Structure 1
Amino acid sequence: MTEVAASDQLLVVIDPVARRTDGESVRIAKDVLSAGAATKVCLPEGPEEFARALARRGSRRPVVVGDDRALLRTVSLLHRQRELAACALSLVPVGGVLSLARSLGVPTGAVAAARAVLDGVERRLDLLVDDSDGVVLGALRIPSVLSPVPSEVPSEAASHPWLRTCQSLVRTLAARPARLAAVPGPGPARLRIEVDGVLVVDLDEPVEAVSVTPGVSGGAEVEIRPASVGVEGSPLRVVGRRVTVSGADFRYRADSVVGGPVRTRTWVVREGAWGLTLPPGRL
């Protein structure tokens, strides 16, 4: 663990979704951080400006004010730039998607989270990295059916009457009863799952769900629920550092991001690959 000095210079990057969602919490976080350290505040309007702000941080310690998606974007950018290992991140959770922040031990109140940035301790955390250079911070899941991921509506939509008209038309059409018979959803997935080169499940054993979670003493916990296992049954659990899933085209959810379809994908654990500032009591 590494103690974080309050005198550090901070680069406070405020995600635009956080500003729209909860401006008051953003203001409180800025006030607490500015009172305790030298800060430079950036207000990017989109992903490209967000990336530029991080790239130009110099020696400043990055503090992300935003939700789980903003944290994931930051880790992904630093990983692709090969600067993640040398960069301790801090997060002030603001927004509607905060389950990952909670699971990592970050306080969800603006004041408590900002104080943790100033007085906290860096904790090194494991990371899952796939063969397309994607990252997983919290959990990877491969269900039989992935629920749709709602897309964000741009903030300028309210100022364009034609866009509101289109949205209204879409809602009207979506509300109409379907004229075609409902198509049954897909059944259990048929996947080949290998952990550290050992075959755990083959294509002839259909599975209902697979989850992979980093952070088990430098390994990942793999949980596989076979289709034959009922509600009372126990899933298969294996711990390993390298997980390969293959089979018919499948999609997966890495934290809050849906990936695929792919025929095969491998995830490898990177031990202590990234650092997050947490209150000392959360370590």
Structure 2
Amino acid sequence: MGKGGRPMSEITIKNVWKEYGSATVLERLNFTVQKGEFCALVGPSGCGKTTFLRLLLSMEPATRGKILVGEEQISTEPARDRGIVFQRYSVFPHLTVLGNAMLGTELAQSKMGGHLFGNKRAQAKSSATDMLGRVGLGHVLNHYPAQLSGGMQQRLAIAQALLCSPKVLLLDEAFGALDPPTKSNIHTLMHQLWQDRQMTVFMVTHDLTEAFTLATRVLEFGKVRRDPQAPDAYGATLVRDVGLAGQTPSERGETLASWQENSESPHVIDLFSNSHR
């Protein structure tokens, strides 16, 4: 939820910049994401996609501009209404599969050092067991992460995030390290969970096929201004925004092909080229 415990609604990015000293990572970001959209964030490495997720998660503030949830500014600290899954499996090796899944609920509800007792513990265990069954881990509740494959560990990380009932789910190259068959299975699972939960999703990926398969909208970050003598002077912004909602798989394939045909960036301005001196 946003401030005041209200349900998460549309997210508006208003002239957002992120700077670290004299280095500009993001600049002039302006767009709105409706509740329930699945947005894929693409673009070259180092163009600020993960930085943008950190802003959405409230791990860092924007240097300039505003991020609004509905009409209110996003909270200044990370909250349970936003979950994140990283590329490297964010699970605890000393806890079982069930223990990992229950941890978020225990930390949120416990007043006794992260442990629940009685009915609350029984409810947390039941919810975790149900979710682990949904992600295909119901048969390994008492296993430890070291006993799981990479795909199973990532399913556990997804279950961890979803058990906090986020309104917004952030995926930071969450499927990048998986082999193709495992990735395909995770894609199917993620699509089902997104539809069932009606979450808003932001997914950073370098895999355009993944982006055009899962997302309802693809947002490309990139630089439109460059100064060779000061490479950090200008940041990335939104350079392409393509909607995919309602498209069939074949139509998505055609949209991807068109995207790739136009993947060059003639719009990038070299401020020190002959034509701009």
Q: TM-score range by the shorter chain?
A: under 0.3
Q: TM-score if structure 2 supplies the norm length?
A: 0.28
- Which one has a bigger Cα radius of gyration? 1
Name the structure, 1 or 2, with higher relative contact order (CA <8 Å, separation 6+). Answer: 2
Higher strand content, 1 or 2: 1
TM-score calculated relative to the size of structure 1:
0.27
The structure with the largest helix share of the pair is: 2
